[in-house]
Structure 1
Amino acid sequence: MASQRRRAMLCILLGLGLSSLGSAIVNIALPSMSRSFASSGATTVWVVNAYQLSATVCLLPVASLAESLGLKRVYASSLAIFVLASLGCAFAPTLPMLVSARLIQGAGAAGISVAGIALVRAIYPQRMVSKGLALVALAVAIPGALGPTIAATILVVAKWPWLFLVNAPFGLAVPLFVAAAPPDVRVARPLDLTGIALSALAFGLFVAGIGTLGIGDGRIATGEIVVSFFCFSLFVRQQLQHPFPMLPFDLFRIPLFALSVWTSVCSYAAQILAYVSLPFLFETGMHLSAVETGLLVTPWPLMTAVTAPIAGRLTSRYPASVLCSIGLMFLSAGLLLMVFLPTTPSKWDVVWRLALCGIGFGLFQTPNNTAMMTAGPIGRSGAASGMNAAARYVGWSLGSALVSLIFGLGGDHGAVFCLAAGMAFALMGSATSSARRFR
């Protein structure tokens, strides 16, 4: 049983690592893509936005499918889709085709995130769940740490399409996972096509509207946001009347779970606001090379990888509310210090500030995920995992869309304004996490 768990866990971590690498490696290459397609920075950011948007839209439907079709089947299929879409990204001849391939890749990432995290709780006994989730945090953080360096190294010797080709060999892990994973537990439920359509319109129009507020006709973007709220209200009403809702209302009635979800949304919005804007700050504002940018961004995810397992051990001794609040205060302090970076900073000026951000994020991630995944009954692990991933991708989608908006309105100071916005989200997340102590 232990050996089977290790093999299954290895494949789960591999898929989660690939989805993390797919995001981290692209951020560094955005300036190169912008030059390759002769497009603006605000337009090229949609290579990131498309991935996050697609993943966000697909999360709730995938969580529903995972409970009806089985976690193992959904995970294996999603990993295969992700790898094939990576090939599509590598061979995309135009920016619109690249964005389209990233939409498909994001759908695969959604399945990997939902089914992968739910499988962790299925594989490990209750007393070891935090250990498994700490490994998940490492699987996400380590590729994030290596992503900038890998991207910088590849861009020195090859063009940006090779950033996507690195995923191709890992598609061979799909058969290995199918053989090693535990048997599926399925729940018979019909596919809610109406709910899927309403959730796609709600999330899709909201992110698209925010992302295009600073580009072109603002009335169209404002209309998209208004319609998104209308669609979301219809979605909630439809879900309340559905016998098998995609929105887990039973879990949201648990204060610990609901507050953990909002803490996660704020934290990941802060993270992506910084991750997407930093390459532009370093390459455009500080005139650094792609290699220097990759190395300079690395301290954040590297320190997250170092801190995550420590936070996993602390989770059994201290409340998640305390650990997450402290971590997010560190994150907000690091981002504030980046806002007030000297005009001609040394490398060390940047490194220690981003390292502080990484320590804070690592201290938040594992305790918050553990609180979210264990707040409800084990039979609702699929729904809890879906909302865990949904919170992450909603935060990323909101953050990346805000980057596009801020870049469109902020001009040359867009990157600094993004860091300030990230600090504000980190502070909101810290306040929300603190509220869990009184529930």
Structure 2
Amino acid sequence: MKPVSTGSEPEVVSVGWALASLSLSMLLASLGTSIANVGLPTLVQAFGASFQQVQWVVLAYLLAMTALIVSVGRLGDLLGRRRLLLAGILLFTLASMLCAVAPTLGMLIAARALQGVGAAIMMALTLALVGETVSKARTGSAMGLLGTMSAIGTALGPSLGGVLIAGFGWQALFLVCVPLGGLTCALAYRCLPAAGQARDLERGAFDPLGTLLLAFTLLAYGLAMTLGRGHFGLLNVGLLVVALLAAGLFVWVEARVAAPLIRLALFRDAALSGSLAMSALVSTVMMATLVVGPFYLAHGLGLETFAVGLAMSLGPCVTALSGVPAGRIADQFGVQPMILAGLGAMALGCLMLALLPASLGIGGYLGPMVITTLGYATFQTANNTAVMSDVGAEQRGVISGLLNLSRNLGLITGASLMGAVFAAVAGDLSTASAEAVASGMGFTFVLATGLVLMALLAALLSQQRRWRTLDSVA
């Protein structure tokens, strides 16, 4: 079942199966991010550990994925994306087995870090391989499908994890990924295009020092934003300083090596820089809905745990349902109008959440959430399409890595920044009144509205520069 065919119908079938393999790869990486969270209380009992120790089961995966996602994208450009994606899927599957049989918490955390490395490869190269799988005219639809699968994986994790723990124990959280990984690997091997995947790794073509410095920078930043659960101390500040120094050293090295990991000239492209900045900003905002939402629903509206879970599942469901239609609309009408429309909807939804009167109850929360999430899905699909459609074949891996990195950094920053803002306004959440929680919610989304407006301004400036370029060419 090869993707190259002389007839039009077999080619369509092959492209469909190739997209199925990429979709499963994105689903697995997203599922790995969310499925372990629900098992943390069980792991505390199973290993006799504290919550602070057990939370590294989640952090090890997230930090490994964030620190390496650009580097593995560059390796894919050099070694072949299909080849490296297959290795990443196998690594993810093997690490899932190691997680399930881990005899100690330390072994489990190490296996989760290894699983995060596999997830970094899968996320970076899945987007990069879209350009080798579908025509440019269908890129938006493909990006929408991948966004849908990512949302499904994120939404499915907690509910599926709860069922698996109840029926089979915590080991099932990781064993479920083994058959899915095997299926994904088989499909990718049979269906993904091999054309253009082999490139010689010439001496000096890879930048090991830059790779180590970038990974160290991102690791230090990730730790600074996640340790202390939003409460900044001297350790967090020290890690931020280390991250800044390492980032400066990384830039200095990249400007001097013959084959840099990231060509700094890429960031002179205002459209690319703007897209990465917008992605980070909106991801920061979306994390606010995941961090603040449960507290507002439970303490502000007094909902039971089951009702909170149902309400929180609405956002991922909206994203899953709107991803493919948003991609098709972007293919038909262009990505720039869709970027502006998505950001406009996000700004409106966040403003409604900021002004939300508690007297409206759950309906007053879910309505703005639908608008915000729909805007996010529209923006994300159009923004990814805009970036990946114009990237040369030799840079697809590293640019895809940068796109995923901007999203991950936004999520990490949002978890810390938005959580800290909410806690500062609402006060001690164990004793805070419903009014205090509502005030914290409102203030947090005032900030979120400002961040989305910054992204909207960047999009408008990018559109204005594009019009000027077209006028000068004409």
Which TM-score applies when normalising by structure 1? 0.86
Partner in structure 1 of residue 84 of structure 2: 74
Q: Which is worse superposed, 267-276 or 93-102? A: 93-102
Which whole-Å CA distance do the structure 2 matches of 1:94 and 1:341 have between them? 46
**Does the aligned pair in 2 maintain the 1:207–1:401 contact within 8 Å?**
no
Which whole-Å CA distance do the structure 1 matches of 2:259 and 2:170 have between them? 43
Q: How big is the shift at 1:161?
A: 4.6
RMSD between aligned residues: 3.3
Partner in structure 2 of residue 110 of structure 1: 120
Q: 1:325 aligns with which of 332, 337, 340?
A: 340
Matched, 1:181 2:192: yes
Query: SS of the residue aligned with 1:59?
Result: helix
- After superposition, the C-alpha distances for 1:54-112 in whole angstroms (9 at most, x for unaligned) are 11110121012111221112111111222333344445566655544332222111100
**Does the aligned pair in 2 maintain the 1:71–1:119 contact within 8 Å?**
yes
Partner in structure 2 of residue 348 of structure 1: 363
Which whole-Å CA distance do the structure 2 matches of 1:377 and 1:402 have between them? 35
Q: Which is worse superposed, 113-122 or 176-185? A: 176-185
**Does the aligned pair in 2 maintain the 1:26–1:163 contact within 8 Å?**
yes
1:39-438 matches, within 5 Å, as 39=50, 46-90=56-100, 98-154=108-164, 157=167, 160-173=170-183, 174-183=185-194, 184-189=197-202, 190-212=205-227, 218-279=233-294, 281-282=296-297, 291-338=306-353, 346-402=361-417, 411-412=428-429, 416=441, 422-438=448-464
Which whole-Å CA distance do the structure 2 matches of 1:60 and 1:322 have between them? 28
Which whole-Å CA distance do the structure 1 matches of 2:343 and 2:61 have between them? 25
Q: How big is the shift at 1:397?
A: 2.7
Query: CA, structure 1 residues 170+213, in 2 after alignment: closer, same or farther (shift >3 Å)?
Result: closer
Q: Which is worse superposed, 354-363 or 85-94? A: 85-94
Which whole-Å CA distance do the structure 2 matches of 1:154 and 1:286 have between them? 30
**Does the aligned pair in 2 maintain the 1:49–1:400 contact within 8 Å?**
no
Query: SS of the residue aligned with 2:35?
Result: helix
Q: How big is the shift at 1:272?
A: 2.6
Query: CA, structure 1 residues 179+112, in 2 after alignment: closer, same or farther (shift >3 Å)?
Result: same
Q: Which is worse superposed, 21-30 or 53-62? A: 21-30
**Does the aligned pair in 1 maintain the 2:29–2:119 contact within 8 Å?**
yes
Which whole-Å CA distance do the structure 2 matches of 1:251 and 1:321 have between them? 20
Query: SS of the residue aligned with 1:247?
Result: coil
Query: SS of the residue aligned with 1:243?
Result: coil
Query: SS of the residue aligned with 1:9?
Result: helix
Give the greater-gyration-radius structure (CA): 2
Which whole-Å CA distance do the structure 2 matches of 1:392 and 1:116 have between them? 15
Which TM-score applies when normalising by structure 2? 0.80
Which whole-Å CA distance do the structure 1 matches of 2:390 and 2:88 have between them? 26
The one-letter code of the counterpart of 2:187 is L
Structure 2 unaligned blocks of 5 or more: 5-10, 466-474
Q: Which is worse superposed, 379-388 or 208-217? A: 208-217
Which whole-Å CA distance do the structure 2 matches of 1:80 and 1:45 have between them? 25
Q: 1:15 aligns with which of 25, 28, 35?
A: 25
**Which structure's relative contact order is higher, taking Cα pairs within 8 Å and 6+ residues apart?**
1
Which whole-Å CA distance do the structure 1 matches of 2:282 and 2:53 have between them? 25
- After superposition, the C-alpha distances for 1:328-382 in whole angstroms (9 at most, x for unaligned) are 3333443454456555874434433322222111111111001111233333222
Which whole-Å CA distance do the structure 2 matches of 1:332 and 1:315 have between them? 20
Structure 1 unaligned blocks of 5 or more: none
**Does the aligned pair in 2 maintain the 1:86–1:105 contact within 8 Å?**
yes
The one-letter code of the counterpart of 2:224 is G
- After superposition, the C-alpha distances for 1:27-52 in whole angstroms (9 at most, x for unaligned) are 55567667876745x87665444333
Query: CA, structure 1 residues 221+6, in 2 after alignment: closer, same or farther (shift >3 Å)?
Result: same
Which whole-Å CA distance do the structure 2 matches of 1:23 and 1:103 have between them? 11
Query: CA, structure 1 residues 390+265, in 2 after alignment: closer, same or farther (shift >3 Å)?
Result: same
Which whole-Å CA distance do the structure 2 matches of 1:160 and 1:338 have between them? 36
How many equivalent residue pairs?
438
Which whole-Å CA distance do the structure 1 matches of 2:363 and 2:41 have between them? 23
The one-letter code of the counterpart of 1:305 is A
The one-letter code of the counterpart of 1:306 is L
